[in-house]
Amino acid sequence: MNKVIQVEGLTKMFGDFTAVDAITFDVKKGEIFGFLGANGAGKTTAIKMLIGISNPTSGNATVAGFDVLTNPNDIKKNIGYMSQRFALYDDLTVKENITFFGGIYGLSRKRIKEKSEALIKELGLEKVASQLVGSLPLGWKQKLSFSVALIHDPKIVFLDEPTGGVDPITRRQFWEMIYKAANQGTTVFVTTHYMDEAEYCDRVSIMVNGKIEAMDTPKKLKEQFQADSMNDVFLKLARG
């Protein structure tokens, strides 16, 4: 039993509107878990509860062994997060962003130096390491965000639509990075709109109007819905 995320009946209401409606699922260690759903299905709201920046209305969830309600700060030490919106500092350079977030996570100076050199090399950003992040193309920014989310070697990394607006080649590279992280034992919790990406996941859940309507491996889901691709599965579910 290597469940790093356990969710039971997690609900978030904004007034009368139920954004997340009693979702229940778990994620195993080292898994790439695809969290799919249409726009407004409640994915981001669910993620925000799991990473401890939004309190659930009801239900339970533990992430990395800690309760989201009582121990959000312990969760934060063990997770990385990359939001839908680019959230590094445009007015700092690549190196400065890495150093800053490394510092915030309490890495030693030596470790930050090693990490930032390794990251910059891996991302092929040597030439622009001293440039302001604001001047980089979106694809590079996204890869940098992902690397920064991994800077403190978290157990779980949450990626909220990491490949939105990114070209197919960069998307491909991005997924290679995700695989690499998963191979090193990091659990990846990823949301996406691209159904071809859903095929890369170990397991996916599909959320419709705040509820999880289906959850299994892509292969089994396709069998269950008698569909050729995840795209068809998604369309069948989302149309109801």
Q: Are the C-beta atoms of 38 and 206 separated by less than 8 Å?
A: no
Q: Any contact of residue 91 with other proteins (CB under 8 A)? A: yes
Residue 126 structure tokens? 């040597």
Q: Any contact of residue 74 with other proteins (CB under 8 A)? A: yes
CB of 156 to other proteins, least distance (A): 11
Backbone φ and ψ for 192, nearest 5 degrees, come out as -160, 160
Q: Any contact of residue 187 with other proteins (CB under 8 A)? A: no
Site for other proteins in 92-131 (CB under 8 A): 92, 96, 99-101, 103-106
Backbone torsion region of residue 209, taken as left when φ is above 0, otherwise alpha when ψ lies between -120 and 50, otherwise beta: left
Q: Find the largest Cα–Cα distance for the chain.
A: 54
CB of 168 to other proteins, least distance (A): 25
> Of residues 72, 162, 210, 218, which one binds other proteins by CB under 8 A?
72
Minimum CB distance to other proteins smaller for 29 or for 211: 29
**Cβ neighbours of 115 (radius 10 Å):** 21
CB of 100 to other proteins, least distance (A): 5
**Dist CA 132 CA 220 (whole Å):** 45
- Binding residues for other proteins, total number by CB under 8 A: 37
Q: Any contact of residue 25 with other proteins (CB under 8 A)? A: no
**Dist CA 150 CA 116 (whole Å):** 11
Q: Is 189 exposed, middle or buried (0-12, 13-18, 19+ CB in 10 A)?
A: buried
Site for other proteins in 42-61 (CB under 8 A): 48, 51-55
Residue 180 structure tokens? 């690499």
Strand partners, 108: none
Looking up tokens 């910059």 gives 120
Q: Any contact of residue 239 with other proteins (CB under 8 A)? A: no
Minimum CB distance to other proteins smaller for 98 or for 195: 98
> Of residues 32, 79, 119, 133, which one binds other proteins by CB under 8 A?
79
Which of 158, 193, 204 minimizes the C-alpha distance to 178? 158
Q: Any contact of residue 78 with other proteins (CB under 8 A)? A: yes
> Of residues 1, 39, 110, 183, which one binds other proteins by CB under 8 A?
1
| Chain residues that interact with other proteins, rule: CB under 8 A | 1-3, 48, 51-55, 64-66, 72-74, 76-79, 81, 83, 85-92, 96, 99-101, 103-106
